[in-house]
């Protein structure tokens, strides 16, 4: 396996869109009515040419201002400085927080040697004030010279393709990565959890819930037919899985 889940923990999210840490051993779900319960885990994939980070989490740091994301990369056997490509599905706070690191009150790029791949429309939408975007984090990337815009769908290199999906945000994108003979699919918030393949619903938190629902079905079918390894960013159980379609029902197994 050349993919790693970089688990940043468990959270509840209510209509205020604030992420509140949720300790599964001591906190009770009943005390947080109207909340969704999710995990946050960026992914790391080692390919022949790059060490790729897929989305960057909430950006929590320890008392010494070290990013949990950096610690998790080390636990997987790599140095943060080895990350050469950061692929960003969209720019919501729980996906971009770890793009930057804070030292003595100053924000710096968390992966200064990496190219950050962003969908241009998502970037412009983020600055337009239409949604809940953290533009202070985006400003750091803007100034860095590490920003690589893509538009629509296409190929980044011989291992990575990107696909403009919309659905969750107007310019949300998904990524396909070929590594070690496997086809990895990162659908981010269009396919955030295995359960969303098993229950058909249009979610209120999506920009276009109906489109997301249709995309999930299509990606699920392709994943099963082509034996993709699917990375589920908000999964509370299987984060890296393969999809089977058994009698019209999706089943997800640990990859
Ligand atoms: Zn999102």
Q: Does 14 or 71 have the greater pLDDT score? A: 71
Phi and psi angles of residue 225, each rounded to the nearest 5 degrees, phi first: -65, -35
Q: How far is the CA of 172 from the centre of ligand 1 (A)?
A: 9
Q: List the domain boundaries for the chain.
A: 2-254
Distance (Å, whole) CA 251 – CA 194: 8
- CATH class of residue range 2-254: alpha beta
pLDDT in tens, 159-207: 999 999 999 999 999 999 999 899 999 999 999 999 999 888 888 889 9
Q: How far is the CA of 189 from the centre of ligand 1 (A)?
A: 6
Q: How far is the CA of 43 from the centre of ligand 1 (A)?
A: 16
pLDDT of 138 higher than 80: yes
Least confident of 26-35, 149-158, 211-220: 26-35
Check: CB of residue 88 under 8 Å from CB of residue 98.
Answer: no
Q: Is the pTM of this model over 0.75?
A: yes
pLDDT of residue 13: 87
* Closest of 239, 137, 113, 133 to residue 184, by C-alpha: 239
Residues with a beta carbon under 5 angstroms from ion ligand 1: 92, 189
């Amino acid at each position: 396996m050349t993919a790693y889940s970089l688990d940043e923990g468990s959270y509840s999210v209510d209509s205020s869109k604030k992420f509140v840490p949720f300790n599964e051993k001591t906190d009770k779900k009943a005390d947080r009515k109207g909340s969704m319960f999710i995990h946050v885990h960026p992914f790391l994939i080692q390919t022949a040419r790059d060490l790729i980070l897929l989305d960057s989490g909430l950006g929590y740091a320890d008392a010494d201002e070290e990013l949990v994301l950096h610690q998790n990369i080390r636990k997987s056997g790599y140095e943060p400085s080895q990350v050469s490509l950061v692929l960003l599905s969209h720019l919501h706070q729980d996906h971009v927080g770890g793009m930057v690191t804070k030292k003595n009150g100053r924000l710096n790029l968390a992966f200064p040697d990496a190219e950050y791949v962003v969908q241009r429309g998502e970037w412009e939408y983020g600055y337009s004030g239409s949604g809940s975007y953290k533009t202070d984090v985006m400003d750091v990337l803007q100034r860095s010279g590490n920003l690589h815009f893509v538009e629509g769908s296409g190929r980044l290199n011989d291992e990575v393709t990107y696909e403009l999906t919309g659905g969750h945000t107007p310019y949300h994108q998904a990524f396909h990565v070929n590594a070690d003979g496997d086809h990895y699919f990162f659908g981010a918030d269009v396919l955030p959890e295995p359960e969303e393949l098993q229950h058909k619903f249009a979610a209120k938190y999506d920009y276009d819930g109906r489109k997301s629902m249709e995309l999930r079905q299509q990606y699920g079918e392709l994943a099963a037919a082509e034996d993709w390894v699917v990375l589920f960013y908000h999964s509370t159980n299987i984060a890296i899985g393969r999809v089977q379609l058994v009698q019209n029902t999706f089943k997800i197994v640990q990859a």
